[in-house]
Amino acid sequence: MINRKDMIDLFRASSTYINAHRSKVFVVLLSGEAQADDNFFNVVYDLSLLHNLGVKLVLVQGARPQITAALEKENIDSSYHQNLRVTESVCIEIVKQAVGSLGINIDALFSMGTRNSPMHGSDIRLCRGNFVTAKPAGIHDGVDFHFTGKVRKIHTAAINKQLNQGNLVVLSNLGYSLTGEVFNLSAEEIATEVAIALNAEKLILMIPEDGVIDDKGQLIPSLSESDAKKYADNKAILKDEDSKCISQALYASLRAYSNHVHRIHLISFKSNGALLQELFTREGNGSLVSNDSFDQLRDASISDVTGILNLIKPLENDGTLVERSRELLENEIQNFKIIELEGAIIACAALYPIDYQSGEIACIAIDSNEQKNGYGARLLTNLEKSASELGFTKLFVLTTVASHWFIEKGFSEAELDDLPDQRKGLYNMQRKSKVLLKQLS
Ligand SMILES: CC(C)(COP(=O)(O)OP(=O)(O)OC[C@H]1O[C@@H](n2cnc3c(N)ncnc32)[C@H](O)[C@@H]1OP(=O)(O)O)[C@@H](O)C(=O)NCCC(=O)NCCS
């Protein structure tokens, strides 16, 4: 159970994000898989909270597994080509029923308001309609897609009007043609095109994993365009449903990325509260594909020594950091990580091994013009990950001025005697640095 102080701190810490998100347009893809998951109730609660905090929400409902199940029930085979279902005329009625049923379910969920539910008092109005004009996908490689469609036009003025009236806009994966026909579209395509057309602040894609996971099973908090492409291609060759869902989301994020949607989040629909954690905490809980930052966190090399020296010199001069000569830095450069922004080193930090189970964070410094942008936290998280990979269970830091910053990052005050002997022997009694310790799992 969270204690009172933690709850108050957490609530206050989220206020920056509440202010930043207010009145912004977020487009959220709710895949058919997400809607079938046991955690979907919680996703709806969290979306209603976002709406009540002033976020303008456009939800896009997918229906892929529900359509497949409905077709199978009628013994109708449906084939895929180029990752798109071929919707023959015999299928479209069944598609309409499956999609209609999902729409009704979501209306019902957002209408909940009993006293014991988190939706009590929220009184949300959903609005849906013919906001997407579709055209036939056509014939490709000799395959006729029949009633599978593509986006022809997003009616942004009509959507914005609803959002400005305080309504939550819900779109299905169906679009309507100028000839009055109904087409079955990919929900990923609709979500992406809507985000682009509305110039949305965020595109949020709910997926079955915590985000994009690397080969070592670690969550990748932020991805470049090339990373996103690599993981999309890797997932696309796997045949399981989760991989398909993630690869589609990644391809959608690439399209949004190259069309100036600045922040695309991949967030788990299975993990209770992941959406709130990603949007209201510094640490987040998902993967972000973002094109608004040109910074790069990487291992330092010998050619970075001058840049690091320029960065740390003022802090050495005022006594914040221990002095390091160029020679020492050159010898120890393999312990350093840096963040480079448009060619300049704006942040550095080092991880020094002490013994086989403990390491020390040292020389963390962020350019004074770039502080409070999360660079320190990013470096620390990265070094903690390296420490865990090296098998360290204890991470020390000795600091004179930043103890609170480290405590907020999970460190606790420790005694000098907690330091391994070889490090204790080097402790500078005049500096009187505080010893902080974090246990790594
Ligand atoms: C301490 C330092 C590494 C933090 O890096 P950063 O990139 O600015 O930190 P983040 O953006 O991740 O976090 C910023 C938050 O930490 C807070 N913070 C920064 N320095 C702090 C300190 N010394 N004590 C407590 N909190 C501090 C900021 O006020 C901000 O909080 P807010 O968002 O509530 O206003 C950076 O300020 C720095 O380089 N300081 C000078 C060098 C230094 O003191 N190094 C530590 C030697 S051990």
pLDDT tens-digit profile of 178-188? 999 999 999 99
Closest CA to 322 of 272, 294, 364: 364
Domains and CATH numbers, the chain: 4-290 (3.40.1160.10), 295-439 (3.40.630.30)
431-435 mean pLDDT: 96
228-236 mean pLDDT: 91
Residue ranges in 112-200 assigned as alpha helix (H) = 156-164, 187-198
Comparing 221-225, 330-334, 412-416, the range with the smallest average pLDDT is: 221-225
pLDDT value of position 77: 86
> Above pLDDT 90, what percent of the chain?
77
Is 59 exposed, middle or buried (CB count within 10 Å of its CB: 0-12, 13-18, 19+)? buried
Residue 213 CB less than 6 A away from ligand 1: no
Residue 364 CB less than 6 A away from ligand 1: yes
Give, for ligand 1, the residue of 339, 380, 405 to mutate: max count of ligand atoms closer than 8 Å to Cβ: 405
pLDDT value of position 241: 85
pLDDT band at 65 (very low <50, low <70, confident <90, very high): very high
Per the DSSP assignment, residues forming a β-bridge with 397 are 361, 436
Structure tokens at 208: 């079955």
pLDDT band at 94 (very low <50, low <70, confident <90, very high): very high
pLDDT value of position 333: 97
pLDDT band at 218 (very low <50, low <70, confident <90, very high): confident
* pLDDT per position as a tens digit, 144-179: 999 999 999 999 999 999 999 999 999 999 999 999
Ligand 1 atom with the shortest distance to the CA of 362: 48
Whether this prediction's pTM lies above 0.95 is answered by no
Query: Ligand 1 centre from 379 Cα, in Å?
Result: 12
pLDDT value of position 320: 94
Q: What is the DSSP letter of 265?
A: E
pLDDT value of position 155: 98
Ligand 1 atom with the shortest distance to the CA of 365: 39
Taking CA atoms only, the protein residue closest to ligand 1 atom 16 is: 405
Query: Ligand 1 centre from 371 Cα, in Å?
Result: 7
Residue 404 CB less than 6 A away from ligand 1: yes
Q: What is the mean pLDDT of the chain?
A: 92
Which residues, including other chains, have CB under 8 Å from residue 206's CB and lie 6 or more apart?
Answer: 28, 29, 30, 31, 34, 43, 267, 268, 269, 275
Residue 343 pLDDT exceeds 70: no
Residue 299 pLDDT exceeds 90: yes
- Tell me the one-letter amino acid at 347: A
Residue 376 CB less than 6 A away from ligand 1: yes
pLDDT band at 285 (very low <50, low <70, confident <90, very high): confident
pLDDT value of position 7: 82
Query: Ligand 1 centre from 376 Cα, in Å?
Result: 7
pLDDT value of position 106: 96
pLDDT value of position 266: 96
Give, for ligand 1, the residue of 322, 364, 371, 434 to mutate: max count of ligand atoms closer than 8 Å to Cβ: 371
pLDDT value of position 342: 58
Tell me the C-alpha distance between 61 and 170, whole Å.
7
Residue 293 pLDDT exceeds 60: no
Residue 1 pLDDT exceeds 70: no
33-42 mean pLDDT: 95
Residue 96 pLDDT exceeds 90: yes
Tell me which residue has tokens 């930090």. 349
Residue 227 pLDDT exceeds 70: yes
Query: Ligand 1 centre from 404 Cα, in Å?
Result: 9
